[in-house]
A and B are shown apart, each in its own frame.
Chain A
Amino acid sequence: MGRVDQKIELLEYTLSMCKTSLEYLSPVTAPLSYAGQQAVIGDLYQALAVYQAPRQNLHLAVAAYLETLKYHSINSAPLSYASILRALGKVYNLLASRESDARVYFELALSSLKEALLIYDPALQPHNYASTCHRISKVYCNMADSGIAKLEHWVDEARRYIENALAYLIPQNDPSLYIEALSESAIVKIKLAVLQDRTQDLEHTLDEFYELAAISIIELKTNARRIHWELGDAYWLFFEKSQRLSYLSKSIEWYEEALTRFPDSTYPLASADISRALGRNYEAFARFEEAISNRRRAISYWQFAANFYGSLELSEDVRELRAKISASSV
């Protein structure tokens, strides 16, 4: 049994235990415990969505969180209420990239997260406040990436929220989130510089980010998996802007490094997403040099990604990649 299968089995086993315990809890006599268990069930569906049938599991997570909200109120348990809103916001954001009516899900994500943000006091709950800002920034980033209008406005909103998150995050309390926020802040600044045609700021922003990330990784001894991926994204943006092959090569280097840190045996979805990006990069490379070998590499990465998307029942992604493979093969 592979690691992914083991993880799925573990999560499903835990899910069945939670459902059993729910049978013995009454929403009338123990509403908070009942709601808490529903929230855990939501978290488990969300975790399962990483490994299998994302759309279906994310919808089941939403149903569980909405059930939880029935038993919480902003007046009786504001922090629990806010934490469910945060979870809901995260799942809606994930659903936006899986559903055709993305805009509806983005709006649901933003309204849930902004409602949660109003409940947290940054002086009293700095970590919750910061991580909610971080999630809002992610929603704006995804809105910009999805091509919905107001591109520059969304990226600027993402920048505003991620900077707010960094202002309240205490690195030692959650090193992983701090590093993640740091790298996302850099990516957002790079995207904004590209959109606003401030080419002179690009190299500077990347250098600054790289230095900060390197220091943080050493100081906080944390796993820097995501940074490699995001550096791949950053150099791709540089290449798109300048059409310089050196940036494209660097983007490939960082993505390939990221792929070793997100092995398909543990992170099938991340592995598929990085492979899709690598396919795109090699396809772009083929337009400049070694057309046949680079195109072959692109196809092989896309095939790898398509296999994983297929196993995750993401048929639209599979269709899109098959179309690319077929176009590239001709």
Chain B
Amino acid sequence: MEEVSASNELYASINGQLGVAYRQHPIGDRGDNLRQAITRLNLALENSKPEDNFIAYAQLLNSLANSYADLDMLSNTSDDLIKAIEYYEQALKYVSPQISALDYAGIVGNLAQANIT
């Protein structure tokens, strides 16, 4: 069981990093890269448990929300932005300013930008 768990953790970690990399990828179609980022980040979330590391889980949700917020700029429909806001709000359930001030500030800042749009 421990092996499976460790493998899941690694799988989640690699997909999480791939998701972040796809989001920042400067080459290729921006929309395709963002959709790849969303797929990878969802895989990472499916293979993670918040109770294992609340902050890491919140960071994944924050990255997923960022990808949707970026996609919103391209699509110009509010659907992606609504999803982004939902994921930022979910992320804030796992992090507080007392536990990790920097992560909390980052997610709140992103949520603010999404709410301004």
Interface residues of A in 1-53 (CB under 8 A from B): 10-11, 14-15, 17-18, 20-25, 30, 33, 36-37, 40, 43-44, 47
| Contact for A33 among B73, B106, B116, CB less than 8 A | B106
* Residue numbers in A under 8 Å from B108 (CB-CB): 14, 17-18, 21, 37, 40
Cross-chain contact A30 with B116 (CB below 8 angstroms): no
Cross-chain contact A47 with B116 (CB below 8 angstroms): yes
Q: Does A56 contact B (CB under 8 A)?
A: no
Q: Does A175 contact B (CB under 8 A)?
A: yes
Would A14 and B112 be within 8 Å (CB), given that A21-B97, A176-B76, A221-B76 are in contact?
yes
Cross-chain contact A18 with B101 (CB below 8 angstroms): no
| Contact for A20 among B73, B97, B115, CB less than 8 A | B97
| Contact for B76 among A10, A36, A222, CB less than 8 A | A222
- Size category of the A interface is 20 to 34
Would A173 and B30 be within 8 Å (CB), given that A14-B112, A24-B98 are in contact?
yes
Cross-chain contact B116 with A44 (CB below 8 angstroms): yes
Q: Does A174 contact B (CB under 8 A)?
A: yes
| Contact for A40 among B30, B73, B101, B109, CB less than 8 A | B109
Q: Does B87 contact A (CB under 8 A)?
A: no
For the residues of A in contact with B, the DSSP-based class is helix
A223–B75 Cα distance when bound, in Å, is 11
Interface residues of B in 3-57 (CB under 8 A from A): 30
Q: Does B68 contact A (CB under 8 A)?
A: no
* Residue numbers in A under 8 Å from B106 (CB-CB): 33, 36
* Residue numbers in A under 8 Å from B98 (CB-CB): 24
B43 to chain A, nearest CB (A): 27
Write the B97-108 contact mask toward A (1 if CB under 8 angstroms, else 0): 110011011101
A37–B113 Cα distance when bound, in Å, is 11
Cross-chain contact A175 with B76 (CB below 8 angstroms): yes
A183–B102 Cα distance when bound, in Å, is 41
Interface residues of B in 70-117 (CB under 8 A from A): 73-74, 76, 97-98, 101-102, 104-106, 108-109, 111-113, 115-116
* Residue numbers in A under 8 Å from B97 (CB-CB): 20-21, 23-24
Cross-chain contact B112 with A33 (CB below 8 angstroms): no
Cross-chain contact B76 with A30 (CB below 8 angstroms): no
Interface residues of A in 133-190 (CB under 8 A from B): 172-176
A18–B92 Cα distance when bound, in Å, is 12
30 chain-A/chain-B pairs, Cβ below 8 angstroms: A10-B115, A11-B115, A11-B116, A14-B108, A15-B112, A17-B108, A17-B111, A18-B109, A21-B97, A21-B101, A21-B104, A22-B105, A24-B98, A24-B101, A24-B105, A30-B101, A30-B102, A33-B101, A33-B106, A36-B105, A36-B109, A37-B109, A40-B108, A40-B109, A40-B112, A44-B112, A47-B116, A175-B76, A221-B76, A222-B76
